[in-house]
Amino acid sequence: MIRSISRAQLIVDVVVASVLLLLVIWSATIQSPIAGPVVVLLLCGALAVRRLSPALALIGAWAGALLQIAVLMAVTPADAAVLGVAYASASYGTRTIRLIGLASSITGGAIAAVYLTLSSRDEYINPVGSPTHTVVTLIALGIGMITLFVLSWTLGLLARTVRQSREAKVQAAVAAQRAAYESAIEQERTRIARDMHDVVAHSLAVVIAQADGARYAGATSPEVQSDALGTISATARSALTEVRLLLTQLRREVPDGPQPSLDDLPALIAGMRGAGLRIAETTSGTPVPLLQGTGLAAYRILQEALTNALRHGDPARSVTVELLWEPEALHLRVRNAVVAVAPGTEPADAVRSAGHGLPGMRERAALAGGTLTAGPAADTAGAYEVFAVLPTTVAPREEAAQ
């Protein structure tokens, strides 16, 4: 019977009911010192809990109205609470409460018409005028009161329909965004598979060539056979690790060409500078060789981050690119200033999250065994940061498996 509503909604309902209570409590007390305040409290209480519990609101409204009729109390502004309860029963109640609210609106309207027809200002239960006049008045009031109550209930039902329609649109938008995100990840996996196809093919070609050479030269040159076996071991180990890190399945696609790595970073930065991006680059620590898949992931992450900075960042301020080499991990950080947006427009990070770039970067980092975070910088206002950590060595459990 109790719904979950926000604190602001509850406060508004209580305040409105309290104001109405203060306005009518005095006049109701004058009319009926004992029953008057009770009637007003029941009606205003029903108004206060109409969204919190439409069922309790209906009970309170009926109790107040029946008590008012029983003591022959005149109509007060507190009776307007009945309209709010009828609205809430349709807008916030369950299917049973909605039907009870509709029946209450029709029945209550009829009872109110009879009560108003048979009452006068000075004396109650005293038909005014001729019986014909009384019947006409009763019919007119009945139509008017039932229409008023049912109209309040109908407005509540309409508000409920509009609210459910909006919620359905939001859920559909969330589902569409989730589907687009998953599609972007799947497309990025396809691109990663295409990139790594060249790597795996090269590794297998080296293994085959070295094995053939060792087989032919083994009888006459044992040292050549030993070198070939060492090359085969290193190449196969590296290829196996890259497959485990970066591929779930291989696609038989024609590679586009040689794959970039961190060695190509100077050319990438030079190209971005040529496009108008101001870049401040810093490198610390001792660089160590990376697996080709990890180097490719690092290059692609930096490429996407710099592209996003060029598209969405403030061109008047510099972009910071930091590479921190540690014995077991490479830390990549790209930070750029965000252009201030006008009220009502979407911020740059919202625009980025809707595209395929961030899902692709996260996927590359995860498949390389690392992590990536992207969002507003925690220590600098108005800045956007992409931070990735990529392993520089094979995990111990993978070395053991080999």
**Coil, helix or strand at residue 248:** coil
397 Cβ contact list (under 8 Å, min separation 6):
none
Per the DSSP assignment, residues forming a β-bridge with 386 are: 334, 374
Give residue 48's pLDDT: 93
Contact between residue 269 and residue 281 where contact means Cβ atoms under 8 Å apart: yes
Give residue 121's pLDDT: 42
- Answer positive or negative: Cα dihedral of 230, 232, 238, 240: negative
Give residue 250's pLDDT: 42
**Residue 349 token pair:** 């990070």
**375 vs 323: CA distance, rounded Å:** 18
> What's the start-to-end Cα distance of the chain, in Å?
62
Contact between residue 51 and residue 78 where contact means Cβ atoms under 8 Å apart: no
Pairing of β 383-391 and β 329-337: antiparallel
**189 vs 380: CA distance, rounded Å:** 33
**370 vs 356: CA distance, rounded Å:** 19
Q: Show pLDDT as tens, one digit a residue, over the chain (402 residues).
A: 788 888 999 999 999 999 999 999 998 888 888 899 999 999 999 999 999 999 999 999 999 999 999 988 888 889 999 999 999 999 999 999 999 999 999 999 999 988 888 775 444 444 445 677 778 888 888 899 999 999 999 999 999 999 999 999 988 988 888 888 788 777 766 766 655 654 565 466 566 666 766 777 666 777 767 777 777 777 677 666 656 655 544 444 444 445 678 888 898 888 777 666 789 999 999 988 888 788 888 988 898 888 788 777 887 889 999 999 998 899 999 999 887 654 544 444 444 444 456 777 888 888 888 999 998 888 777 889 999 999 987 543 344 334
**Residue 327 token pair:** 């014995």
Contact between residue 398 and residue 238 where contact means Cβ atoms under 8 Å apart: no
Q: What is the b/e burial string over 199-238, where b = at least 16 CB atoms within 10 angstroms of the residue's CB?
A: bbebbeebbeebeebbeeeeeeeeeebeebeebbeebbeb
Give residue 203's pLDDT: 62
Give residue 123's pLDDT: 43
**Structural domains in the chain plus CATH codes:** 7-172 (no CATH), 178-246 (1.20.5), 262-401 (3.30.565.10)
Give residue 398's pLDDT: 40
